[in-house]
Amino acid sequence: MIASVVPKRIIVSGDDFGMSAGVNVGIIAGHRQGILTDASLMVNGAACRQAVELAHATPTLSVGLHLVLVQGTAAAVPSSVPGLVDGAERFRTNSVAAGLRYFFAPALRAQLEREICAQLEKFFAFGLTLSHVDGHLNIHMHPTVLAILLRLAPRYGIRAIRLPREPWTVSLRLDRREPGRKLVEAVIFRSLSRYAAPRLNGQGIRYPDQVFGLHQSGHMDERYVLGVLSALPAGLTEIYSHPAVSDEETRRWRPPDYEGDAELAALTSPQVRAAVQEAAIQRVSYRELACG
């Protein structure tokens, strides 16, 4: 009896669509000229309207919601979410502090649900088809936030979610810098994923088998992406990055060491495209995963 071979498939996504014109340029170029299949839209980003126009003009691009509950601006009426925003209508910038408040302050849960609904409603008001949901700084994995998303999933047709389970040993082998940070991230997000997976399964919500991008956020350059492709496990893998043509708005929100231009170069690299083809790796999208 011949054992069946599990194919290697990838979803290649770009986060922060709508954050800035430079991010929009990076994502569209990564899709039209490279291997990018998906984008995650910030519905209240400074360049969101432009991103939506580009998405409508690029129907092959699969688009999901990049849920923002830290480091951004609320979509709900500020007076309806006073515990989430400051006087400038912005969320907290410290993700750890925000996460602790969201977990230990039950009074905020109704406000969180109000804000999440507002972002989903705004997404659909743009006339886009929701491929999946993920979160800025992976805030969608927060147990309180995830519970709300699961409750809202039938109403809004959420059928796929990013589950950031990254093979830590592979990531560290490809880049040995900051092993402590990467180990802490691996432990935290592996635990959150173990908590989330059976709950997603219970509602038939799909997710990739593994993800790359968590430990190398902002530094998914050509060398690293080629290394990921050469070590790609069987099954469905999401490779997510933050491609951009650097501009003032991008620099305002992202860490100063982020290499958005290098990440864009990786996505459009002839060597990367050749590696995908030579290894017979299938490119799919969250849109296909959700409908499969």
Provide, rounded to the nearest whole percent, the portion of the chain with pLDDT above 90: 88
Mean local confidence (pLDDT), 48-75? 97
Task: List 66's β-bridge partners, or say none.
Answer: 134
Q: What residue spans of 40-178 are helical by DSSP H?
A: 48-57, 95-104, 109-125, 143-156, 168-174
Mean local confidence (pLDDT), 99-117? 94
For 277-283, the CB contacts below 8 A with 24+ separation are 279/8, 279/229, 279/230, 279/232, 280/7, 280/8, 281/8, 281/9, 281/10, 281/229, 281/232, 282/7, 282/8, 282/9, 282/10, 283/9, 283/10, 283/11, 283/12, 283/35, 283/37
**Measured CA distances, 58 to 55, 74, 244, 262 (Å):** 5, 27, 17, 23
Residue 5's pLDDT band, with cuts at 50, 70 and 90, is low
Burial of 112 (0-12, 13-18, 19+ CB in 10 A): buried
Instruction: Look at 292 and 197; give whichever has higher pLDDT.
Output: 197
Cβ–Cβ < 8 Å for 117, 67: no
Both tokens of 127, joined, read 């006339």
**Measured CA distances, 161 to 132, 149, 170, 206, 289 (Å):** 5, 10, 23, 6, 10
Both tokens of 142, joined, read 């927060």
Q: What is the pLDDT of residues 270-283, one digit of tens each?
A: 999 999 999 999 99
Answer whether residue 35 shows pLDDT above 90: yes
Average pLDDT, the chain: 94
Q: What is the pLDDT of residues 139-165, one digit of tens each?
A: 999 999 999 999 999 999 999 999 999
Cβ–Cβ < 8 Å for 70, 43: no
Domains, the chain, in order of start with CATH, read 8-291 (3.20.20.370)
Cβ-proximal residues to 126 (8 Å cutoff; 6+ apart), any chain? 43, 52, 55
Q: What is the pLDDT of residues 214-248, one digit of tens each?
A: 999 999 999 999 999 999 989 999 999 999 999 99
User: How far apart are the C-alpha atoms of 107 and 88, rounded to whole Å?
Assistant: 21
Answer whether residue 2 shows pLDDT above 60: no
Residue 137, Ramachandran bin (φ over 0: left; ψ between -120 and 50: alpha; else beta): left
Mean local confidence (pLDDT), 202-212? 97
User: How far apart are the C-alpha atoms of 133 and 121, rounded to whole Å?
Assistant: 13
DSSP 89: S
Which range (1-5, 114-118, 150-154, 185-189) has the least confidence? 1-5
Residue 177, Cα to own-chain centre: how many angstroms?
23
| pLDDT value, residue 4 | 59
Residue 87's pLDDT band, with cuts at 50, 70 and 90, is confident
Angle at 97 between CA 110 and CA 72, to 5 degrees: 70
Residue 133's pLDDT band, with cuts at 50, 70 and 90, is very high
Residue 1's pLDDT band, with cuts at 50, 70 and 90, is very low
Residue that is written with structure tokens 């790609």 in the block: 232
